[in-house]
């Protein structure tokens, strides 16, 4: 057995932090309060659409979805697209639990997708069509087209979904700008065609977070998935929560990825090793009794940014951040 394998075996039996220190963190400051304007625009456009397509991150299938979507847009047929499935730990038992919990919330139309690779994209158009045509409000009249509104919190892949549908059904390129950080789509856009037969249009919308986040831990999960800018939470705080989560789930891919000596629960130690491995160090002058001395110090923020980027790109393996929530019993089906 190699040194790396022995280190991982030892890590699997180690005792990790049972909880993450959440005190003193002002979660309200992390989430911008101007998003009500976007929700009002969506409400005013509701009469133009037949169906709501809510997109969310598959790594947090039960956390952070905006409850106001269901309350204010719930008049229309509603489906949930859990995107970034390639980044989520979706073992068969996990998927069953997710479906049970969502059905308990009254959501029976769920699709897991990876919009970058067009996985399961073909299911969406037939599902939208079926939802609309089975709706008791369905009065098609002379119109033979469908229109759905794409909603969700920031940076879950709403624009990527629209572009994937266009690639799949129209063989056309990007219609909406896509970015790896929240806030790329800033206004409710005009209708975008995604299919010819049936004729279907989608409305892209800006990401809208819930006005109040349930808990600091939910806020940290949302931030890990990139729904807010990292500096609002603190890159080293986020990196520490990521390390805590990976160790608790016994996911030690970070040890092999960075070539560390072994798994560790101390974020300062991990970031120091990451910084040295990546050459992310900086010279700092230290005043001593004999004069100024140049000391090489690890660049902790740069190491934290790389740790987060590596996780978000899937290089540390698939993760289910809602594992704790999935262990609770689902709500009764309303």
Residue 83 counted as an annotated binding residue: yes
Q: Retrieve residue 40's tokens.
A: 């009002």
Residue 44 counted as an annotated binding residue: no
Give the separation between CA 318 and CA 225, rounded to whole angstroms: 13
Residue 291 counted as an annotated binding residue: no
Phi, psi of 25, rounded to the nearest 5 degrees: -100, 125
Residue 194 counted as an annotated binding residue: no
Residue 84 counted as an annotated binding residue: yes
Residue 163 counted as an annotated binding residue: no
Residue 160 counted as an annotated binding residue: yes
Annotated binding site for GTP: 83-86, 155-160, 207
Annotated binding site: 83-86, 155-160, 207
């Amino acid at each position: 057995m190699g040194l790396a394998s022995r280190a991982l075996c030892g890590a699997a039996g180690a005792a990790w932090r049972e909880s993450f220190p959440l005190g003193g963190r002002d979660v309200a400051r992390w989430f911008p309060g101007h998003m009500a304007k976007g929700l009002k625009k969506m409400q005013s456009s509701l009469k133009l659409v037949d169906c709501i397509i809510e997109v969310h991150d598959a790594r947090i299938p039960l956390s952070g979805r905006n409850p106001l979507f269901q309350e204010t847009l719930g008049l229309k047929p509603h489906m949930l697209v859990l995107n970034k499935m390639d980044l989520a730990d979706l073992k068969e038992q996990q998927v069953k639990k997710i479906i049970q919990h969502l059905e308990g919330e009254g959501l029976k139309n769920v699709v897991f997708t990876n919009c970058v690779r067009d996985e399961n994209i073909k299911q969406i158009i037939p599902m939208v069509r079926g939802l609309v045509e089975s709706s008791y409000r369905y009065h098609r009249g002379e119109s033979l087209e469908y229109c759905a509104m794409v909603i969700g919190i920031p940076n879950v892949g709403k624009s990527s979904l629209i572009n994937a549908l266009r690639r799949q059904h129209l063989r056309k390129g990007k219609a909406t700008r896509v970015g790896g950080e929240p806030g790329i789509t800033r206004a409710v856009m005009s209708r975008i065609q995604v299919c010819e037969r049936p004729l279907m249009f989608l409305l892209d919308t800006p990401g809208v977070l819930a006005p109040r986040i349930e808990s600091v831990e939910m806020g940290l999960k949302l931030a890990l998935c990139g729904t807010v800018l990292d500096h609002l939470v603190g890159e080293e705080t986020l990196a520490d929560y990521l390390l805590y989560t990976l160790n608790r789930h016994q996911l030690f891919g970070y040890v092999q990825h960075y070539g560390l000596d072994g798994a560790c629960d101390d974020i300062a130690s991990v970031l120091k090793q990451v910084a040295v491995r990546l050459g992310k160090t900086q010279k700092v002058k230290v005043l001593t009794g004999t004069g100024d001395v140049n000391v090489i110090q690890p660049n902790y923020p740069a190491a934290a940014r790389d740790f987060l980027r590596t996780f978000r790109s899937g290089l540390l393996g698939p993760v289910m951040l809602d594992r704790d929530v999935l262990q609770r019993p689902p709500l009764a089906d309303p």
